[in-house]
Copies of this chain bind each other. A is one copy, B any other.
Amino acid sequence: MNGPVTLGPVRLAPVVAALPPSRPFIAPEELARRSGRSELLRLGANESSFGPPPRALLAMRTELERTNRYGDPEAFELRAALSARYGCAPDRITVAAGIDDLLGLAVRAYLAPGDVSVMTAGSYPTYAYHVNGYGGRLETVPYENDGSVALDKLAARARETGARIVYLANPDNPSGAFASRAAVAAFLAALPPDVLLILDEAYGDFVAPDELPEATDDPRVVRMRTFSKAYGLAGARIAFSIAAPETARAFQKIRLQFGVSRTSQAGALAALAETAFVDGVVAEVGRGRADYRALAQRLGLATLPSRTNFVCFDLGSRERAEALVETLLGLGVFVRKPSAPPLDGFVRVTVGTAPERERFGAALVRALAA
């Protein structure tokens, strides 16, 4: 290739060329490397500190022997089990490599470049990453001052902007707020008739099933659930959506057919049967939230009500919150903070095991004294 022709760079597709470099999250591994530590106390990614369910671990260990074989791209057995659990036909269920994967599918399927999507400013960053990544236009509405999601304003913004997709995390991340079944029904009724509502229920296992929206035949709704949180399988990358059959068919036309690990499918299937274990995790997370509230009270800090496996501590200002995240990292503790007002003065802390909570409490006391 010594000719006079100038080679590349190859021209990017316009949507991708226009994107700034961005990552939704800096991972704890990278923060550990930066801070020269081999490991951090991981209370920043809302992982479950309670491990994978024992029978899921066993099932995965057994299935590992067959890692040389591709997994079932249709996740037939898992979808059958989910169908029985959630009382909906298997053709409404899509299994994918985490809710992140499902969010990408929904945006790709329903948001053409230039189309508008509406979400709460500072809610789950990976949703915004996908909207930007596919050339969509993001319209945001701030949280209410009490940390709840401004459902009426979200619906109004969706109507004003002709939004194609509305994103609602419920329970919400990073606030921990929860909108009741009735509130979600009213929200849905206030949305335009042709909008897709993504209900990201990543933290749905931390509320009672009858508090969540009923299984709905509304073709506008896609509910997303994950094995990453209460089920303790974050590293396995497996989640599912329940939607209208036509939405599931749209995902089927574009999804990565072999994107989910074989072992992870076996783990999720076994985890689904571990109801007592998962109930125990949910109960312990409730105790942990109470511990965090008591800790905050002792230190004179307010907290946001939470229905999830994390609690937001009010530091009063963005500067103090950012400083606390940095100071805690220096003490070997990984936490994150909401990015946008009015929650940018909070620090979000995952509920760990009791010893982890104690370790966090001690670090917090030290950090605040610094």
Contact = CB atoms under 8 A, between A and B. Distances in A.
Interface of A: 1, 3, 5-16, 19-25, 27, 29-30, 33, 42, 45, 47-52, 56-57, 60-61, 63-74, 76, 97-98, 100-101, 104, 108-112, 115, 126, 129, 133, 164, 188-189, 193-196, 218-220, 228, 232-237, 244, 246-247, 249-250, 252-254, 256-264, 267
A14 B100 CA distance: 22
A70 B45 contact: yes
A73 B28 CA distance: 10
A65 B47 contact: no
A76 to B, nearest CB: 6
B27 A254 contact: no
A319 B290 CA distance: 69
Contacts of A261: 235-237, 261, 263-264
A228 B19 CA distance: 32
Could you say which of A7, A63, A111, A262 has the most chain B C-beta atoms within 10 Å of its C-beta? A7
B8 A218 contact: yes
Contact of A73 (B8, B25, B47, B101): B25
A17 to B, nearest CB: 8
A220 B8 contact: yes
A194 B23 CA distance: 28
A38 to B, nearest CB: 12
Given A47-B70, A253-B22, A257-B24, A109 B262 contact: no
A74 B29 contact: yes
B262 A235 contact: yes
Copies per assembly: 2
Contacts of A60: 64, 67, 263
Contact of A193 (B7, B20, B42, B252): B7
30 contacts: A5-B193, A7-B193, A8-B193, A8-B194, A8-B220, A10-B110, A10-B220, A13-B111, A16-B253, A16-B254, A21-B252, A21-B253, A23-B73, A27-B70, A30-B76, A49-B68, A67-B233, A69-B234, A69-B235, A70-B234, A97-B97, A97-B237, A97-B259, A98-B258, A98-B259, A100-B256, A100-B257, A237-B260, A237-B261, A261-B263
B70 A254 contact: no
Contacts of A64: 52, 57, 60-61, 64, 263
Contact of A100 (B27, B228, B259): B259
B47 A69 contact: yes
A11 B247 CA distance: 10
A19 to B, nearest CB: 5
A263 B250 contact: no
A220 B19 CA distance: 20
Contacts of A16: 108-110, 250, 253-254
B12 A109 contact: yes
Contacts of A111: 13
A241 to B, nearest CB: 14
A28 to B, nearest CB: 8
Contacts of A188: 1
Nearest to A10: B196
Contacts of A108: 13, 16
